[in-house]
Copies of this chain bind each other. A is one copy, B any other.
């Protein structure tokens, strides 16, 4: 059997008092997770912290060293609570400098109304790359394996194509199949244990639905080898008692 190499790994660092206070509901992770999954990259860890330079710097240092890619979300504007640039620079032991091309773009954008506050958005860690695509021309900041993405959900999503165009790799996406059951988790545990043992290379998940309508339990079969995930799903479905599963996809 041909072996799929292990997936590249990623971590995300969500920055912002507004998230941890519940004033704003976090909305970027699910978009990042789905984009990475489509690119065959395994998101292994997410950390959310307050707007504190040293806390952020420590996390960036640890997460960027232990994963192939790190994505930060939030804290990249011009105000006092935007400390991600400073923290990432600190994590990598570099200074913060103003980027001349970024400064020129800001001056062109704001024209006569351009303030010192606006120009703070040209600050970046020394050595950072300004990443763009032909469709997304406003730059995204990347320092080595760490991408600095904005917290505003609409802008975060606009940046994802830039990220994806740079990830490269074997492009083998994660796939997911599922069966839907009327049986509950307690009833199917022995059958689940069997498929988990028989298909160690397939990630099997079991998710009860609280307000049961059309089904009570969803069982998922995930992996980067489509044939194996499908085989695990079909073997599990065939092991069920009559009348199950209610649905397959």
Asked whether A110 lies within 8 Å of B37 as measured between CB atoms, the reply is no
**In the complex, chain B residues whose CB is within 8 Å of the CB of A206:** 77, 79-82
Given contacts A79-B185, A117-B187, 7 further A-B contacts (CB under 8 A): A20-B43, A22-B34, A23-B222, A46-B46, A78-B189, A79-B189, A81-B206
**In the complex, chain B residues whose CB is within 8 Å of the CB of A182:** none
What are 18 A-B contacts defined by CB distance under 8 Å? A18-B207, A20-B33, A20-B44, A23-B220, A44-B50, A45-B48, A45-B50, A47-B48, A79-B185, A79-B192, A80-B192, A80-B204, A81-B206, A82-B206, A116-B189, A118-B187, A152-B208, A155-B210
Chain A contacts with B in 55-83, Cβ cutoff 8 A? 77-82
Task: With A47-B45, A204-B81 as known contacts, state yes or no: A118 contacts B186, CB within 8 Å.
Answer: yes
**A53 interface residue, CB < 8 Å from B?**
no
Copies of this chain, complex-wide, total 2
Name the one of B14, B21, B176, B210 contacting A222, with C-beta atoms under 8 angstroms: B21
Point out residues on A near B: beta carbons under 8 Å.
Answer: 14, 17-26, 29-34, 36-37, 43-50, 77-82, 110, 113-121, 152-155, 174, 176, 184-190, 192-193, 196, 203-208, 210-211, 220, 222
